[in-house]
Amino acid sequence: MNHPHVLLVSQHAYGHLNPTIELAKNLRRAGARVTIATTVSGFNNKLKSLPFFHDISCVSFSDGHDDDINPDKIPGYFQDLERVGSESLACVIQSLSESGNQVTLLVYTLFIPWAAVVARELNVPSAILVIQTVTYFSIYNHFCNSRDGIAVVNKDIETSISLQLPGMPLLKCSDFPTYLLPTDPTFSEMISLCQEHLKFLEEEPNLRVLVNTMDDLEPDSIKSIKNAVILGPLVPSSFSDNVGSYFRWLDSKPENSVIYVSFGSKAVLSKAQKEEIYMD
């Protein structure tokens, strides 16, 4: 039997790599051949240290900053990533094909739409993996879509703006991803990147959107995405092995009294902040 070969292309950040690896495990369990591709620096400094199935292959592509541990902090990095990464990724796909491992589907994470362009040029179907919540994806869309996006209609974004999404309370500026606000130093670059990605998705005739969520978590947000494929939550199986104890603990608390907070892999908390969290 000729199994499909899925190439998962991820940025080097843990927030991209972790769900990509969990998707790779699920695809492998389903019988697909799977290869994970990330930048050279991400491969050397992060991917090698993460646990996953031994029969999942890993490859790297260059972003022009192979020796930098945190290249995304370099001004103009995402332009380098697209320019160098497009050529390097194309070589990876061609090399896999020549070795008898032809890619039948390319899946890429957020903010690297050029990966889909590479796939299209090589006649490989592609799909985007939305690693964050669908609600976040909806916020990106409302900010950056080419028709009536907030950043398109209002060149000067004010910190007093709010956003109403289906099934959600009114979202204020403090609820938005920080890099969508002009107070963030990466604002201009990230807005441009989001606009580029959303424009590509708007023009994609065979759009496939893989969402890392569940029906019960974001039913209204999911309905707003065309051709959404629900495959989440993409978390390690060790978490779900203890799901019974989690539910027992939650059931012991008063209704609506528990808040889940994720600081992300790039957050740096001071000792005082950690102590305050523990006290709460």
Active site residues: 16
Burial 86-122 (b: 16+ CB within 10 A, else e): bebbbebbeebeeeeeebebbbbbbbbbbbbbbbeee
* Token pair for 275: 């102590």
Q: Which candidate, 179, 134, 136, places its Cα nearest to that of 157?
A: 179
Burial 158-172 (b: 16+ CB within 10 A, else e): eeeeebebeeeeebe
Residue 113 to residue 104: CA distance in whole angstroms: 18
Kind of pairing between the strands at 171-172 and 162-163: antiparallel
Tell me which DSSP letter residue 150 carries. Answer: H
Contacts of residue 10, Cβ cutoff 8 Å, sequence gap at least 6: 16, 17, 20, 36, 37, 38, 42, 108, 109
